[in-house]
Amino acid sequence: MIALDTNLLVHAHRRDASLHQAASVLVRELAEAPTPWAVCYHSLVEFHAVVTRHRLWEMPSSPEAAVDQVRAWRESPSLRILHDNDECLDVLHDLALHGAVSGGLIHDARIAGCCLIHGISELWTVDRDFRRFPGLRCRNPLTG
């Protein structure tokens, strides 16, 4: 099963995002297909924080719009939301140490750890920072 990173969700939602059109089509196709796909719970929280942040957008999404978008994705019967479990903190710490992660990159390590714990075969992302995490195959689906 593949999982989507926060940045693809942001691009799919924000019409003013540089990759909006391609990301929107991609997420819609996944949501309408019978094949299971996944998003980490943490990515949904991070999505809300990013799209409503005034420093990032001239006109940020309203909290209501962010919640409505997450609800719409959750209506996809093929979506699996991945939650942290008891193993995640140890995996997160190992990834952070191995990848020399600090600051905001710890969020990427948390997503990577959650994906690894749940046996995700591939994380789709436009963020190259995920390359620092061994064992997690990543791909940018918008570049082919």
- Domains of the chain (ranges, CATH numbers): 2-139 (3.40.50.1010)
SS3 of 34-75: CCCEEEEHHHHHHHHHHHCCCCCCCCCCCHHHHHHHHHHHHC
62 has pLDDT over 70: yes
144 has pLDDT over 70: no
Is residue 85 within 8 Å of 91, Cβ to Cβ? no
**Tens-digit pLDDT profile for residues 17-58:** 999 999 999 999 999 999 999 999 999 999 999 999 999 899
**Tens-digit pLDDT profile for residues 98-132:** 888 989 899 999 999 999 999 998 999 999 889 88
Q: What is the mean pLDDT of residues 80-103?
A: 92
138 has pLDDT over 90: yes
Strands (E), 1-144: 2-4, 37-40, 79-82, 122-124, 138-139
Amino acid, res. 15: R
**Predicted local distance difference test score (pLDDT) of residue 126:** 95
**Predicted local distance difference test score (pLDDT) of residue 99:** 86
